[in-house]
């Protein structure tokens, strides 16, 4: 859970996109990045997927499709990362739509772009379809399952949300503190809501708090569950 | 002197998206069909179900109701199809579905999966295959659908009643109070926050200990039972 949330104001899409591309290229230039035929793969990995499990997944994608990718694709991946780092969700979505359509679908890139598409763009249905693709292509990743659970919750499908959170809980790495704590917290609430299982809910929320002792919603939920049973807002 | 003539009430609400604001008009139309006009007189939906006479049902509407609204209500009062209630995709789904971004057949992976199973199932003959398809449509109509916030398409079709109308008003007041005038960076952020508030609210027990989602489902089931009784009486020889 490393790509940050957007804090940019709304702007006109067409001209704003061209401006964003110029700014991204300036950032790359300032960082001494020169994308060439001999380094585009390495740069894409270093910039977009510096950590596991994303790094292995992007490496697998590059190996599988290296004949169809190349320096231009590499540069577009770097630009996308600059937009993520700048929290410019409109540029992330516009760039993904304009630059990546000629290439084979990359589930890892889609998984991160889908976040922006629904959390800032509000398009739940498009994001859901992208996460579905990520589920098939990234069977060992917890994140798309967590996001499917969260979207199910937003749609009011609580049984679906519990199922996805449980799948995510089985896959999430111990050291992915942000994602793991959110999965367990949300699963705890769903367990309480659907099954009335107060102790299972408390166990999940305690796991979230073990990872993030200052998690405010989890602290409030735990207080609520230990006191008078009531629904604690998400 | 008591005046019970139609009155115009102006009230402002806050909506996160244009689509949800527009859908709120449809939701209110659906509520009004199930609202009793006076005392024990039947409401518009009951008149339409029990008589099949849309003109008679529409005559309950006060004369000040504009033609566009009349047209919308007439559409809502149309008899339901014998097969799948695809019109449910175009209904509001009430307060529980008010903010869900528009969706339809294309997104309905539940129906797609049911259809795929039917298509690959070996049937003895064409009659058996057709019968299975008809049964499948009825199954879709009556099973809780995850994209309708757990309502069945039939529960969506029947619309909300007076209790849901009151709950919806309470939630919309709460939403306005919380978010009107607040700065948001995107429509998506407004939508997320609204949906999170809604899902928390629908699970929070009211003073009577009942959760809004349970009250809403129970009322829609009551309305479906009234409809079933009305249709049965109408079809009696």
pLDDT digits (tens, 9 = 90+) for B140-176: 999 999 999 999 999 999 999 999 999 999 999 999 9
- For range B80-97, the mean pLDDT: 97
Say if residues B164 and B31 touch (Cβ distance below 8 Å): yes
Domain-by-domain residue ranges, chain A? 12-105, 142-234
| pTM of the entire predicted model | 0.91
Tokens of A68: 């169809």
Contacts with A46 (C-beta within 8 Å, 6 or more apart), sequence order: none
Closest B-chain CA to A192: B203
pLDDT at B40: 78
- On the 0-12 / 13-18 / 19+ scale of CB atoms within 10 A, A151 is buried
Pick from B16, B187, B205: CB nearest A230: B205
Residues of chain A with pLDDT under 70: 1-14, 228-234
pLDDT at B84: 98
- Where do we find the tokens 């129906």? B111
Residues of A whose CB is below 8 A from B93: none
Which is higher by pLDDT, A158 or B64? A158
Q: Do A156 and B211 touch (CB under 8 A)?
A: no
CA distances from B159 to B64, B212, B213, B224, B227 (A): 23, 15, 14, 9, 11
Domain-by-domain residue ranges, chain B? 18-234
Closest A-chain CA to B149: A156
- For range B26-42, the mean pLDDT: 90
Q: Do A120 and B189 touch (CB under 8 A)?
A: yes
pLDDT digits (tens, 9 = 90+) for B41-62: 899 999 999 999 999 999 999 8
Residue B5 has pLDDT above 90, yes or no: no
> Residue A67 CB: number of other CB atoms within 10 A?
6
CA distances from B81 to A220, B78, B84 (A): 48, 9, 7
Q: Do B149 and A233 touch (CB under 8 A)?
A: no
Q: Do A157 and B146 touch (CB under 8 A)?
A: yes
Tokens of B88: 């449910």
**pLDDT above 90 coverage of chain B, percent:** 86
DSSP per-residue string spanning A56-107: HHHHHHHHHHTTT--HHHHHHHHHHHHHHHTT-HHHHHHHHHHHSTTSPP-H
Q: Do A122 and B101 touch (CB under 8 A)?
A: yes
Pick from B96, B101, B200: CB nearest A231: B200
**pLDDT above 70 coverage of chain B, percent:** 96
Residue B127 has pLDDT above 70, yes or no: yes
B113 close contact with A: CB closer than 8 A? no
Could you tell me which CATH number the domain at A142-234 has? 1.25.40.10
pLDDT at B209: 87
Contacts with B168 (C-beta within 8 Å, 6 or more apart), sequence order: B27, B31, B94, B95, B98, B160
């Amino acid at each position: 859970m490393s790509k940050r949330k957007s804090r940019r104001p709304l702007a006109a899409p067409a001209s704003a996109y061209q401006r964003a591309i110029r700014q991204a290229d300036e950032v790359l230039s300032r960082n001494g990045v020169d994308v060439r035929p001999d380094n585009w793969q390495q740069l894409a990995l270093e910039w977009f997927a510096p950590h596991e499990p994303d790094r292995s997944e992007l490496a697998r994608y590059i190996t599988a499709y290296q004949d169809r990718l190349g320096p231009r694709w590499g540069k577009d991946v770097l630009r996308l990362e600059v937009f993520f780092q700048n929290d410019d969700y409109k540029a992330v979505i516009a760039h993904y739509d304009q630059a990546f359509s000629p290439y084979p679908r990359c589930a890892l890139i889609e998984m991160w772009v889908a976040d922006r598409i629904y959390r800032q763009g509000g398009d739940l249905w498009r994001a859901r379809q992208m996460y579905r693709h990520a589920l098939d292509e990234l069977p060992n990743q917890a994140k798309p399952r967590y996001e499917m659970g969260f979207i199910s919750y937003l749609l009011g499908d609580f049984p679906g949300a519990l199922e996805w959170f449980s799948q995510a809980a089985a896959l999430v790495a111990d050291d992915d503190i942000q994602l793991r704590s959110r999965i367990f917290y949300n699963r705890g609430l769903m367990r309480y809501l659907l099954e009335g299982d107060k102790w299972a809910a408390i166990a999940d929320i305690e796991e979230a708090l073990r990872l993030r002792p200052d998690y405010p919603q989890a602290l409030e939920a735990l207080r609520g569950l230990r006191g008078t049973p009531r629904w604690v807002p998400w | 002197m008591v005046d019970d003539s139609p009155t115009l009430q102006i009230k402002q609400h806050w909506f996160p998206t244009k689509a949800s604001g527009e859908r709120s008009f449809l939701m209110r139309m659906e509520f009004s069909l199930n609202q009793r006009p006076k005392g024990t007189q039947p409401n518009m939906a009951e008149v339409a179900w029990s008589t099949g006479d849309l003109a008679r049902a529409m005559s309950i509407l006060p004369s000040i109701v504009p033609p566009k609204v009349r047209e919308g209500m007439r559409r809502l009062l149309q008899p339901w199809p014998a097969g799948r209630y695809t019109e449910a995709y175009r209904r509001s789904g009430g307060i529980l579905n008010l903010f869900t971004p528009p969706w339809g057949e294309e997104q309905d992976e539940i129906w797609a999966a049911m259809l795929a199973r039917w298509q690959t199932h070996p049937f003895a003959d064409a009659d058996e295959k057709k019968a299975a398809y008809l049964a499948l449509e009825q199954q879709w109509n009556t099973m809780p659908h995850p994209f309708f916030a757990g309502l069945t398409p039939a529960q969506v079709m029947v619309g909300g009643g007076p209790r849901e109308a009151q709950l919806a008003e309470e939630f919309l007041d709460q939403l306005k109070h919380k978010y009107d005038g607040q700065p948001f960076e995107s429509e998506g952020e407004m939508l997320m926050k609204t949906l999170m508030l809604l899902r928390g609210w629908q699970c929070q027990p009211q003073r009577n200990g009942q959760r809004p989602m349970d009250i809403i489902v129970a009322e829609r089931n009551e309305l479906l039972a009234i409809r079933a009784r009305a249709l049965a009486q109408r079809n009696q020889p």
